[in-house]
Each structure stands twice: as structure tokens, then as C-alpha cells.
Amino acid sequence: MSSSHESLSAIKSELSHSDTKRRCNAMRKLAQSGSNQAGITASVIRLVADKNEEVCTWASEALESRIVPSPSEIVELIDLLRETKDGEVEYWTATMIGRLGSSASGATAVLANCLLDSPCLAARERAAWALSEIGPLARSAMNALKQIGPEDPPRLQRLAATAIASVVNRAA
């Protein structure tokens, strides 16, 4: 237990290191590794807003194809989505929450807020998608989903409609 804990701490420490080169190397290594490392999802998401472009690139690469969040990370992800003002961070946090499916039901409220209030369209779309992945347990987001109307972009409308159907149909 202690060795994996130490290794997790070491990775997190490198990912948040003040030296850009070390952050970048750690991020690239992670994106190019063949396996998923649990427990670092929020640390990686924060790096999509890094001031170094290469760090951002590798963070997005890792998030797209490598990172599989674990249910134990949900509280950290909820806090991150609630606190961030960065559209990219919102987008990836909503995506990671969506990947958790019904076990992310605790994130329904922050996803609904992101859906309605985020200035980043891609993040709003991913919030709608995540709610549909949560399914019936996201019932409390129904009002927010219904506020997406014909004046909204077509993809967002479609995703909101899909989420409503997912909440209703799977609940039925």
C-alpha cells in the first residue's frame, strides 16, 4: 500500500512541479504510458490550463485516451468543476465525471450549473452528455436540461434531449 501511495504522491508532485520541464516530462510520460494510473485525474485536468502549450497538449492526450477516473475521485472532481473558471478544465472535468456513469450522481448539481452557466460551449455540451451518462440518478437536473431550447446551438440541444431521454427512459 505504501509503495503505490508513494508512487502516486511522486507522480502528483511531478505533475504540479514549478519547473515546467519536469511537469512536461511527467505529463508526456503519463500520456505515453500504456496503462491507466488511478488517483491523478484532477491533477491531470488542471494541466490542460497550464501556461506551457506542450504540457496542455499532453494533458489533453492523456485525458482523451488514457485516464479512467475511479469513483473515489468524484468529490475532488465535483470540487474542481465547482471552483474552476477555465473552460478547458470544465470540459475535461465534465468528461471525466461522465465516464463514471451512474456512480457520479453526486455531481448532478455542478453539472447542471455548468450546463446553464459556463461561457464555454464545449463544456456545456459535455455537461449535458455527462448527465445522460449518469441517467435516472440525474433526475434533479431535469429543470436545467429543459432550459436548453431552440435558441441554443444544435449539438447542445441534441445532447440535452438525449440526457432527458436517458433520465426518463432508464428510470421508467
- 162 binds another protein per the rule CB under 8 A: yes
Q: Does 152 bind another protein (CB under 8 A)?
A: no
Inter-residue contact 87 to 75 (CB < 8 Å) = no
* DSSP letter (8 states) at residue 140: G
Pick left, alpha or beta for residue 133 (phi over 0 → left; psi -120 to 50 → alpha; otherwise beta): alpha
Among 22, 61, 109, 139, binds another protein (CB under 8 A): 61
Q: Which is nearer to another protein, 75 or 165 (CB)?
A: 165
Check if the beta carbon of residue 21 is closer than 8 Å to that of residue 10: no
Whose CA is closest to 124, among 80, 72, 160, 74? Answer: 160
Instruction: Show the site string, 80-109: x = touches another protein by CB under 8 A, - = not.
Output: -------xx--x---x--xx----------
Q: How is residue 88 written as a grid cell? A: 478547458
Residues that bind another protein (CB under 8 A): 31-34, 48, 54, 56-58, 60-61, 64-65, 87-88, 91, 95, 98-99, 122, 129, 132-133, 153-155, 158-159, 162, 165-166
